[in-house]
Structure 1
Amino acid sequence: MSIETINRELLTLQERLDHVAAKAVKTDAGDIDFSGVTVYGDISNSAKAERFIADQKQFAELLNRRAVLGAMAEVESWRELAEESKALISGSGSPRGDLATRLAVALKGAPAGSVQGVSFAPLELKALMTTSAGYPPETLRSGRVEVTPTRPTLVMDLPPMIRTVQNAFKYVRESTFTNAAAEVAEGGAYPEASLAYTEVSEPVQKVAVNIPVTEEQLEDDPAVEDLIRARLSEMIRQRLDSQLLNGNGTAPNLRGVRNVSGINAVSQGTDTVLDAIYKGIVACRTTGYAQPDAIVIHPTNLQAVRLAKSTDGQYLFGPPSSSLTMPIWGLRVVETSAIPAGKVVVGDWANYSALAMRSNIDIQVGYSGTGFTAGIKTIRMDLRAAFAVFRPSAFAEVTLA
């Protein structure tokens, strides 16, 4: 296996390991929950853990193999150079390559036949081969590609994911519930209740992106296509992640939870941040009769909470040596810059929302416009999904001062 092949395999493994590191969650019991990991397909949690361990072992083995191959190549290079130098010193060989060129320059202008042999002192030969003017050592580029830091996609993990085969996700919401139940005397008339239902339709929308790449780039470095696929996929996921919170519902946008009519609204006013968040939780419980399971908050707002101290200077959420993972009012905290600073969303995502997938991420490669005659291919990627908030009153948006 060549070093180039090893580098390509290392890049693929690195992308998988990075995905697992971002999606695996440590549970309260100290176990690792791999349910959010998708790169291994639809398999059990234990099977994903085994695949993850196997990938780590393979990554370490490939690193060792690459180091050995690199060392062998360097030894062979120096062996050839030593043989060439020995031949030149003894006068039994003919100069080649860069060393021959340097000798020709050094001897330029000497009378014909005046040079019968060349001798070098050991220190002179060492200086010739190691200084910047001498033989440069071969340096191979590592297989690591440091990509632009991007926001993790965390909101997508909150709503349950379901399938739809239509161009819209429809469900029925009870719009009227009049409870007329009452005590009735013998022979008295029964009170009449009232129920009404409304069909709600959430259109399936497309999130898409494309990038042009020359044929030469794809042919000369096969790892480029894998890198582009991973980055375009991240772009799609980031956009969908933001839409679940902030989409305005105007086609082709999804309608994010913050723009759903009927969610609770709480303002901080003179309350502390923690008090305002708790009032949002209570609003979900008293108007939506729901039990919120997550709090979505911007990092700068969470920073203020984490650094809050008591009157005697003690951190309310524990000393700096404690875990960075901290629940607020017993709920999971999702720290993301996808939500604007000054806004907090609490809600019962698991029971009263759903991400309906019409199609998973799909990738196509082809020619666009003059791309065929220019030798430029276009890689495009998209997914189609709808987002539903079944019970708006199960959510609350808290506006901080």
Structure 2
Amino acid sequence: MPVKTDELTDQLKHHLEAARAIAAQAEDQDRDFTDDERGQINEHMAKAKEAKAALEKARADGALRQAIADLGEGIAMAEPSGEKRTPSGLIVPDGAKTLGEHFTASPEYKALLETAPNGTFGKDHRVQSRPVGYKTLITGASDTSAGALVMDDRRGLMVGADAFQRPLVLRDVVTAGTTTSDSIEYVRMTGATNAAAPVAEATATSGSSGTKPESAMTWAKVTTPVRTIAHWLPLTKRALSDAAQVRTIIDSYLRYGLEEELEDQMIAGDGTGENFTGLANTSGVQAPTFTTETNLTRLRRGKTLVRTVGRSVANAYVMHPNDVEGLDLLTDNEARYYFGGPAGTIGGNTPLWNLPIVESEAVPSGTAYIGDWRKAILWDREQASVTMTDSHSDFFIRNMVAILAEMRAAFGIIQPNAFVKISLAAW
């Protein structure tokens, strides 16, 4: 199996930084190295040279593989079982690294382990890691990017934390953005008047003859603060030495918990305190009143309102799973399913009025949203940050550590009337 260049780069960086730190300490104290320090520096430098040599070799191997792929461009070639190739023939990983895998492979986690004798944390060992952040995880739905936003729900027969988790999908439809600020200032379009009309040639040098009509657009400046979403879990010091267990805790609990709360905030955040202002509480979202229309008719009329009032093109419905079930089970007066029954249901991605349906428990049952979801933007300030410490409560004397995950983001709707809230009747 080819050696990963990013792992070798991390090793090289770690040993160089360790050697520099020892040298800097002696320089700050204006003294020569001690015998122990000299031995540590020589050891780090030797390992750095090994890592650099291996890195250069891996890069050369990668260049050869790319050259082979380029020579085979356009030629059908047999692939080993399980390999995945780009159109040019380059072999790529079958999936992305998870947040937990990135954390346990990080220099910060490796440096933390090196402080423990034999890689095991004793009861008196102090634990304080540097934060490990991953702003670059926000890259879209690519399956070759770290921390893909919406992961395939491939759970197999696993039982455990996943049993209490729901699929997270809203990131799949909104516009993804990034920011380096603590607040987002943007312009929201609240109205438009198109007065364009044919105009006759002017017949006089004064008065209104030949005057062109004036159109108008109404804008409002909106400031959205970046909010912090965070939570933590306890962990024993013995478990801290087990990278696989740490990955499981980060991926199955901490990362998922952040994303679930983020999805809830994008829809239902009420704008008070540290909450987002979600779609349900954004002023200007259309909310028509229906009385006798069936749910299918209401959903279709919502699509029209996005086009005629919002002057936009709807690209998805977002509905609670209970309402998607209601659609699946709709029958005509002869008990025939509208959407193909068990063999072809809405839940199986059959489009509704030529639009996809996104199921999300963030939307309350009995309510559906339709809109141009490209006009909803999620700005990521810090996608994920993981920190460990035993300096919490009485954790130090209990041989426990707290592992904290947090993210910072902001959410905004740049054109509220491009969305329609549809109240559904009982199925």
Q: Do Structure 1 and Structure 2 share a fold, with TM-score over 0.5?
A: yes
Q: 1:336 to 1:174 in 2, by over 3 A?
A: closer
- How far did residue 300 of structure 1 move? 1.6
Judge conservation of contact 1:293–1:348 (CA < 8 Å) in 2.
yes
- 1:399 paired with 2:423, answer yes
What amino acid is the match of 2:303? I
When residues 345 and 382 of structure 1 are mapped into structure 2, their CA distance, relative to the original with a 3 A threshold, is same
Query: What displacement does 1:270 show?
Result: 1.6
Contact conserved, 1:213 with 1:378, CA < 8 A, in 2? yes
TM-score by length of 2: 0.59
Stretch moving more, 210-219 or 242-251: 210-219
1:38 Cα deviation from its structure 2 partner: 5.5
Q: Write out aligned runs for 1:183-222 (5 A).
A: 183-186=199-202, 187=204, 188=209, 190-191=211-212, 193=214, 194-195=216-217, 197-219=219-241, 221-222=242-243
Q: Does 2:64 match 1:41?
A: no
TM-score, normalised with respect to structure 1: 0.62
Q: Does 1:158 align with 2:173?
A: yes
Matched, 1:146 2:160: yes
Is the contact between residue 180 and residue 191 of structure 1 (CA under 8 Å) also seen in structure 2?
A: no
Instruction: Give how far 1:210 is off.
Output: 0.6
CA deviation map 1:24-82 (0-9, x unaligned) = xxxxxxxxxx9625674399xxxx99xxxxxx9xxxxxxxxxxxxxxxxxxxxxxxxxx
> Cα gap change, 1:312/1:235 in structure 2, threshold over 3 Å: closer, same or farther?
same
1:240 Cα deviation (Å)? 0.4
**Residue aligning to 1:333:** 357
- Which of 348, 351, 356 is the equivalent residue of 2:372? 348
Give 1:174 deviation, angstroms.
Answer: 4.1
Equivalent residue pairs, number: 277
1:242-281 maps to which residues of 2 (within 5 A)?
242-281=264-303
1:206–1:382 CA contact under 8 A, matched in 2: yes
**C-alpha distance 198-338 of structure 1, shift in aligned 2 (>3 A):** closer
Structure 1 position 297, deviation (Å): 1.0
Flag structure 2 segments of 5+ consecutive residues without an equivalent: 1-92, 100-138
Judging changes above 3 Å, is the alpha-carbon distance between structure 1 residues 265 and 192 closer, same or farther for their aligned structure 2 residues?
A: same
Q: Deviations over 1:96-135 (max 9, x none)?
A: xxxxxxxxxxxxxxxxxxxxxxxxxxxxxxxxxxxxxxxx
Whether the 8 Å contact between 1:156 and 1:244 is mirrored in structure 2 is no
**Aligned-pair CA distance for 1:340:** 0.9
Same amino acid, percent of matched pairs? 27
CA displacement at 1:176 relative to structure 2:
5.8
Which residue of the other structure, out of 230, 235, 242, is the alignment partner of 2:257? 235
Cα gap change, 1:272 to 1:144, in 2 (>3 Å)? closer
Please provide the CA RMSD for this pair: 3.2
Alignment of 1:1-400 (within 5 A): 36-37=141-142, 40-41=145-146, 146-147=160-161, 148-175=163-190, 177-182=192-197, 183-186=199-202, 187=204, 188=209, 190-191=211-212, 193=214, 194-195=216-217, 197-219=219-241, 221-230=242-251, 231-322=253-344, 324-350=348-374, 352-366=375-389, 367-400=391-424
Note the C-alpha offset of 1:335: 1.6
Give the Å deviation of 1:312.
Answer: 2.7
Distance 2:233 2:172 in 1: 27
Letter paired with 1:249: G
Question: What residue identity is the alignment partner of 2:412?
Answer: A
CA–CA distance in structure 1, aligned partners of residues 286 and 328 of structure 2 = 25
Query: Is the Cα contact below 8 Å between 1:266 and 1:276 reproduced in 2?
Result: no
Superposed CA offset, 1:245-302 (max 9, x none): 1111113111111111001103442211111111111111111011111111112211
Larger Rg: 1
Aligned residue identity for 1:226? R
Letter of the aligned partner of 1:365 in structure 2?
A: M
| CA–CA distance in structure 2, aligned partners of residues 175 and 319 of structure 1 | 42
Deviations 1:151-194 (A, max 9, x none): 11111211011111111111123456454545255132625635
Distance in 2, Cα, partners of 1:331 & 1:15: 28
Counterpart Cα distance in 1 of 2:143 and 2:235: 27
